[in-house]
Chains A and B, each alone.
Chain A
Amino acid sequence: MTTIYGRRANLALDRAFRGMRIAATALDAERARIDVITKNIANARTTRVPGSDEPYRREEVAFAPILERAANGRIEFMGVRIDGVLQDDAPFEEVFDPNHPDANDRGVVLYPNVNTMKEMADLVTATRAYEASLTIQENFERMAERALRMAE
């Protein structure tokens, strides 16, 4: 679809809104990261995932830049996107608990490789990045309003 927000349309005003759109991609990406962190924390004690014989494995999002070729042939950064969700290969936590229904024949229960403290720290940085992008958008809006007021 060719809308004013689509990448194909390249009106003069679109260039003016570039900063705003880059911040929007960051907002989107950070929210996805927050979703994954929330999933990790929620499953921090999940000892069995349906369809596998493993406990929950920690996930992490990988970011990648959105690159675009400008009219002059140069590559420009147009924001960030989620490249994929990666699984953490770190070993599971082993707890000796023979009475647990998911204990193996040695009486050991495998717990997810999620460190809640680390997830909380990640959550804080993701939230701050989200807020920073929001502030950028608000500043941009204020700047544009100032510019418009000059015409009055």
Chain B
Amino acid sequence: MRVKAEGSEMLLRLMSAATMRGDVLANNIASQSMPGYRRRDVVFEETLRNAIEKGASKRKIEEFQPEIAIDFDREPRADGNNVSPEEERTMLRENRLRYELYAAMLSGRSRLISQAINSTT
């Protein structure tokens, strides 16, 4: 089995996107009473997947960055705000679990590498 460096790098990028999303969701929750506020979200995983499915070059995939987008799809309340505290909370929970999943995968990979290093001594 070969442990490639790109996999770890991708996991790190996914983790940083999750960190960014955590900040954005916290901002949404903080702005839940602000009239006219539209919730924001981080777009990364799905655009990345689309690019990979379309067969984008390795370089192009490496250049992909998480972006903050304004959510106009969700129906706003009477005051023009479209934040639902329950949904934000759920997303925050999901986001944390995602982060933990990526972290677990990353630590699994580094364990493999350190095993490979230690087995030579």
Interface residues of A (CB under 8 A from B): 1-6, 9, 11, 13, 17, 20-21, 23-24, 27-28, 31, 137, 141, 144-145, 148, 151-152
Contact = CB atoms under 8 A, between A and B. Distances in A.
Contact of B69 (A3, A11, A23): A3
B93 A137 contact: yes
Given A24-B90, A28-B84, A5 B97 contact: no
Contacts of B45: 4, 9, 11
Interface of B: 41-43, 45-47, 49, 69-73, 84, 86-87, 89-91, 93-94, 97-98, 100-101, 104-105, 107-108
A24 B95 CA distance: 14
Contacts of B108: 151
Given A20-B90, A145-B100, 6 more contacts: A1-B72, A4-B45, A5-B94, A9-B45, A11-B46, A24-B87
Interface of A, helix, strand, loop or mixed by DSSP: helix
Contacts of A23: 90
Nearest to A3: B41
Contacts of B91: 5
B93 A20 contact: yes
A20 B95 CA distance: 12
Nearest to A152: B104
B86 A148 contact: no
B104 A148 contact: yes
A17 B104 CA distance: 18
B90 A137 contact: yes
Contacts of B97: 17, 141, 144-145, 148
A1 B87 contact: no
A87 B74 CA distance: 25
Q: Which has the most chain A C-beta neighbours within 10 Å: B46, B72, B89, B101?
A: B46
Nearest to B95: A4
B107 to A, nearest CB: 7
